[in-house]
Structure 1
Amino acid sequence: VEYLPFESGTPSLEAAVASVLARIDISEIVICEPGEYRLLEQMKYFWSSSLGKPVTLLEDDRFLASHNDFADWAKGKKQLRMEFFYRKMRARYQVLMEAGEPAGGKWNYDADNRVGWRNQVEIPSRPDINPDAITAEVIDLVNAKFPDNPGDLSQFRLAVTRADAEQQFDWFVENALGDFGTYQDALVEESPWVFHGLISMYLNAGLLEPLAVCERAERAWREGKCSLSAAEGFIRQVLGWREYIRGIYWLLMPEYKTRNTLGAARPLPNYFWDAKTDMRCLSRAIEQSLDHGYAHHIQRLMVIGNFALLAGLDVMEVCDWYLAVYVDAYEWVELPNTLGMALYGDNAVIASKPYAASGKYIQKQGNHCQQCRYKPSKVTGPDACPFNSLYWRFIDKHIDKFGNNPRMGLVVANWRKRDPDEREVIVSWADKMIEDWT
């Protein structure tokens, strides 16, 4: 093993390999495929000629569905819905299965996992991981070389070894999994972690194995340490959603990245880099993202993503922001989640309807509104929650696209029933806010 220090100034992975080849005589380059289509294409079609050695690419085996597995499942289907892929994976790996049927008689307990936060239970204190000497050295290096980058490395408490990652996951199973399912969609002013596992970065970096964590969660249920809905909710994220998102990425790239269903093109506001906005939920979600390189999925989807969707922010600028700030972000997982799920920009491959919501949803799911100067009960005016008018402006602007969507029919009908003058007031107020804020 040869390590190249950052100070060596090596500009790219290809250049790093070239520097090693200049010193060591090898006959072939064998490398695991990366998590990004652009880099894979470079390795596949250019490295052999530029480096003067044959290149063999190995498929990443840290996943439970190969590229061919997913392509075979997707073949001939008009819609590629995660739920049906998830069921196939459950059956294949015999996770939460009993005599060929789903444990408990249902595949999915998502309806049980949407409870908003009202301080119902105590959130356990999560143990810190103190940086070892190597990690401390890297933190000092990053602070010195990138002093103007966003974030706060004094709060870095992530596992960097397999042993520490396993210890963190064990703590989650014993102390937080029991409440994870119920409150996985909750927004909590006082806690960036709530009851989430914080293992996505460890799975994506290879410190934890996906099947092992699923089996551990199932064992916790069978031992009576958590409810079936809690175990299933966790397993669905790993065995279902994570594998499905990766399959979508590799199946549809590179064309997938060019999609922009709603034509969103407004530049990303500066407060995405400093969290200086009066919207409490948005400010907290962005601040936590910058400080910790982490936000849980409802913050990413229904706060930051929801705002970006309603405001019509440029899809690639938003995708680049998500890729830049989150420690678990590789393009294979970031792009479909952001472009497809959050921004409804992938021609409805992933989401059958936009995940758009007004301030009432934010209020229902948590306690940010209590600390906010805006009122979720008001639609227009200086103290009205911006999500409200932006939501109706979004419906109005794209009503032709949404009118034939059965999942949007009721919302569209309600908007059309409103007095035309009232609609104009709401849309005009939203237009003014967007111009002032972006």
Structure 2
Amino acid sequence: MPCPLIVILGDQLTPDLPILEGAPENAVVALFEVEEEGRYVPHHPQKIAFLFSAMRHFARELRQQGRQVHYTCLDDNDNTQDLIGEAERVAKLYGCDEIRVTSPGEWRLLARIRKRPHTPLPWYRVHDDRFLCTLEEFNQWAQGRQRFRMEHFYRWMRRETGLLMDEHNQPEGDQWNFDHDNRKPLPDRLDPPEAPKHKPDDITRDVLTLVDTHFKQHFGTLEGFNWPVTRRQALNDLEHFIKHALPFFGDYQDAISDQHPFLYHARLSGALNAGLLRPLEVCQAAEKAWRDGRVPLNCAEGFIRQILGWREYVRGIYWLNMPEYKQRNALKADRDLPAFYWSGETDMRCMRRAIEMTRDNAYAHHIQRLMVTGNFALLCGVRPEALCDWYLSVYIDAYEWVELPNTLGMVLYADGGYLGSKPYCASGKYIDRMSNHCQHCRYDVKKNVGEDACPFNSLYWYFLERHEQQLAGNQRMKLIYGSLNKMKSDKRQALREQAIHFLDQLDYEPAYGRGDHRAGYETGNHNKGKSRS
């Protein structure tokens, strides 16, 4: 009987993975903490601590099930600090005759496995079944389509899964989405629920000490670490969200608070992307809450769309287009990332608070990412690689398969409209409407020029002017360009000078440096089931 080494990656912490379900009794299950994975970009310490603690708890649960488990800790003396090298070393240590791994979620890891040094041990990749749409199914859906839109994919997935569909296979409430009901600005008074508290146990405390020792120079703090590191804790967070936050999620999912980082958001994306939760069970929990009359339909639908729609869609886009997709830069953006993305030291209140919340929590919700930090980078012309590396570094839920399409395509329009139908650019008016930041800001959101004018305003019009030839023909931007073309030349000149002056005085010196995770890209097939790598 073959004796395989079953390698479990840090974002594959799911007990019923096919690779585990089909493993022989003599298999050795291995998990590795390696320096390489913590530093290819300067990951937030809370992200590293979350993954290491979740991995250690997962290993303990596997042992309790009677499995033979090898676990390499970061500071073990014989740790090669390299994922491929550690797998080969441990396989030899236990006398294994092959290495099996679930297909990785990131292209860089797949490329590294394919380009590993030649050794006698064969590697095999096993299908990852934790997504609602396989890559083969997505490719079939995409085949022959001249234009991709998430809404079309989302409707197809609703029919395929039956989520929020009636007995006639029509959408519940006779609407596919309730987006127009889900854009309410921040109310004057709100009382969002506190996140469930997860008291660190001995495993988590040891990990926090380890991470503080090895990664303390990275952006972010470990203070107040409060993420679920076991499946039981993640299920508790899901139940808490359904009961206390989902009834208000739809209405205020686009709102931004100066004081409350989480509002009515689920905080489940980190656990979901690491495998502690499966997407179908999360969607079904939201659907059941609606069918039981505990939440409005617009709230359940808006939440399910984030998972069934966007999450599955961007993964399909990523694997359909890599590695070429990562190199796209349709707007020819060439500025480095402003240094305050690492420090938060800026007078723009919305940017400061988004960065401070990210520093403190390894988290910011999707509108903060898209319409604050992302919008600012778009208006400034920040290089896609620089912003993608930053998002990949600082957020607990960031893996390249989900981060890259959202950042490069949705935020920066660097794919020229392949993912999103228009650039999500906005002036300070949008932030003022959806948040209470502006009332705390030293800049005046109602002013376009002058020392105290909101920088978003002049940057917005300067962005439109710079890219007029490329964007003016976009149907969704005709009204905007109509306003620009009606603007008097002296006003346009003043806005242009205001924006250029602001951009020229920014500090672009990187505070943390960028990891290079582009090495080894190659194209290849992603086959369902067990495949030779």
Q: Distance in 2 between matches of 1:73 and 1:425?
A: 48
5 Å-filtered alignment, 1:113-132, equals 113-132=182-201
Distance 2:506 2:338 in 1: 7
Residue 327 of structure 1 deviates from its aligned partner by: 0.9
Which of 116, 124, 131 is the aligned partner of 1:63?
131
The Cα offsets for residues 47-85 of structure 1, whole Å up to 9 and x where unpaired, read as 3x5332111111221101111000000001011100011
- Describe the SS at the equivalent of 2:144: coil
| Distance in 2, Cα, partners of 1:250 & 1:162 | 27
User: Secondary structure, in 3 states, of the residue corresponding to 1:334?
Assistant: helix
1:13 aligned to 2:83? yes
Q: Among 102, 107, 110, which residue is 1:32 paired with?
A: 102
Is this contact kept in 2: 1:377–1:384, CA < 8 A? yes
Q: Give matches, 1:356-435, under 5 Å.
A: 356-435=425-504
Q: Which residue number corresponds to residue 392 of structure 2?
A: 323
| CA distance in structure 2 between the aligned counterparts of 1:274 and 1:185, rounded to whole angstroms | 25
Alignment-derived partner of residue 14 in structure 2: none
1:131-280 matches, cutoff 5 A: 131-280=200-349
Match of 2:141 among 50, 67, 73: 73
Counterpart in 1 of 2:162? 94
Which has the higher mean CA deviation after the structures are superposed, 238-247 or 110-119?
110-119
Instruction: Determine the C-alpha separation between the residues in 2 that align with 1:146 and 1:199.
Output: 24
Partner in structure 1 of residue 111 of structure 2: 41
2:164 and 2:94 mapped to 1: Cα distance?
Answer: 49
Letter of the structure 2 residue corresponding to residue 121 of structure 1: L
**C-alpha distance in 1 between matches for 2:352 and 2:119:** 47
Deviation at 1:200, TM superposition (A): 0.6
* C-alpha separation in 1, matches of 2:273 and 2:357: 20
Unaligned runs of 5+ in 1: none
The farther-off stretch of 129-138 and 69-78 is 129-138
Look up the match of 1:51.
Answer: 119
2:422 maps to 1:353: yes
Q: In the aligned structure 1, how far is the partner of 2:301 from the partner of 2:187?
A: 23
The structure whose residues are more often helix, as a share, is 1
Q: CA deviation at 1:431?
A: 0.4
Alpha-carbon distance in structure 2 between the residues aligned to 1:263 and 1:52: 45
| Stretch of structure 1 that moved more, 252-261 or 27-36 | 27-36
Q: CA RMSD in A?
A: 1.0
Aligned 8 A contact 1:192 1:288 in 2: yes
CA distance in 2, matches of 1:81, 1:403: 20
Aligned letter for 1:422? Answer: K
* Residues in 2 aligned to 1:354 and 1:78: alpha-carbon distance in whole angstroms: 19
Q: Distance between the aligned counterparts of 1:95 and 1:128, measured in 2?
A: 31
Q: Distance in 2 between matches of 1:156 and 1:60?
A: 29
TM-score, normalised to structure 1, is 0.98
Name whichever of 51-60 and 104-113 sits farther off. Answer: 51-60
Cα deviation, residue 366, structure 1: 1.0
Q: Once the two structures are aligned, what percentage of the paired residues are identical? A: 48
Q: Which residue identity does 2:133 align to in structure 1?
A: A
State the Cα distance separating 1:342 from its structure 2 match: 0.6
TM-score, with structure 2 as normaliser: 0.81
The CA deviation at 1:171 is 0.3
Q: Say which is worse superposed, 397-406 or 50-59, in terms of deviation.
A: 50-59
Partner Cα distance (2:84, 2:492) in 1: 56
Contact 1:117 1:367 in 2 (8 A): yes
Q: Secondary structure at the match of 1:431?
A: helix
Residue 150 of structure 2 is matched in structure 1 by 82
Separation of aligned partners in 2, 1:128 and 1:158: 8
Taking the aligned partners of 1:326 and 1:121, their CA distance within structure 2 comes to 26
- Indicate the SS of the match to 2:242: helix
Assess, with a 3 A threshold, how the Cα gap between structure 1 residues 233 and 433 changes in structure 2: closer, same or farther: same
Q: Helix, strand or coil for the counterpart of 2:453?
A: coil
Aligned residue for 1:68, secondary structure, equals helix
Separation (CA, whole Å) in 2 of partners of 1:368 and 1:414: 26
Listed one character per residue, the Cα deviations across residues 232-265 of structure 1 (whole Å, up to 9, x for unaligned) are 0000001111000000000000000010010111
State the AA in 1 paired with 2:498: W
Higher relative contact order (CA 8 A, sep 6+): 2
CA distance in 2, matches of 1:134, 1:78: 51
Deviation, 1:403, is 1.3
Q: CA deviation at 1:144?
A: 1.3
Whole-Å Cα distance in 2 between the matches of residues 178 and 286 of structure 1? 28
1:120 CA displacement:
4.2
Q: Distance in 2 between the 1:128 and 1:276 partners?
A: 30
Instruction: Answer whether contact 1:118 1:367 (CA < 8 A) is retained.
Output: no
Question: Which deviations, in whole Å up to 9, do the C-alpha atoms of 1:111-140 show, x marking residues without a partner?
Answer: 100111023432122222111111111111
- Give the whole-Å Cα distance in 2 for the aligned partners of 1:119 and 1:183: 12
Deviations 1:269-324 (A, max 9, x none): 11111111110110110111122111000000000000000011111010000001
Distance across 2 between alignment mates of 1:192 and 1:321: 19
| Aligned equivalents of 2:92, 2:370: Cα separation in 1 | 46
CA distance in 1 between counterparts of 2:223 and 2:199 reads: 11
Corresponding residue for 1:290? 359
CA distance in 2, matches of 1:155, 1:35: 29
Matched-pair contact (CA < 8 Å) for 1:129–1:157: yes
Cα distance in 1 between the residues matched to 2:334 and 2:459 = 16
Residue 23 in 1 paired to residue 88 in 2? no
Distance (Å, rounded) in 2 between the aligned partners of 1:92 and 1:314 = 38
Q: SS where residue 100 of structure 2 aligns?
A: strand
Alpha-carbon distance in 2 for matches of 1:17, 1:64: 29
Residue type of the alignment partner of 1:137: D
| Count of residues in Structure 1 that have an aligned counterpart in Structure 2 | 436
Q: Distance in 2 between the 1:404 and 1:342 partners?
A: 20
Distance 2:468 2:80 in 1: 51
